[in-house]
Amino acid sequence: MTVDNETVRRIARLARIAVKDEELPPLAGELNAILGWVEQLNEVDIAQVAPMTSAVQTTLKQRDDAVTAGHIPDDILKNAPETELGFFVVPKVVE
């Protein structure tokens, strides 16, 4: 599998990272080098192997379904680049 410039453009769009046209070829080269290197995983017979879902055997605990925090709008907004009337402000989304 080889990544071409169009693929880089597509995944950069998915990742919401602006990429200039001139950045596409070097990025494609780097990604291909890494993807080529990880190809060696194809040598491994994994037919009977389950994917790892948890690094350490453990049972997830359940907690009470209760509200334990809240009422801290100032804390939540204090690092935002732009706020108004207790809301985050973003560029207009709906026409």
Interatomic CA distance for residues 47 and 43, integer angstroms: 12
CB of residue 48 to another protein, shortest distance in Å? 9
Cα 75 from chain centroid? Answer: 25
Q: Helices marked H in 4-83 — which ranges?
A: 5-14, 24-38, 73-77
CB of residue 60 to another protein, shortest distance in Å? 6
Binding site for another protein (CB under 8 A): 1, 3, 7-8, 11-19, 27, 30-31, 33-35, 37-38, 40-44, 46, 49-58, 60-61, 63, 72, 75-76, 78-82, 88, 90-93
What is the residue type of 16?
Answer: R
CB of residue 63 to another protein, shortest distance in Å? 7
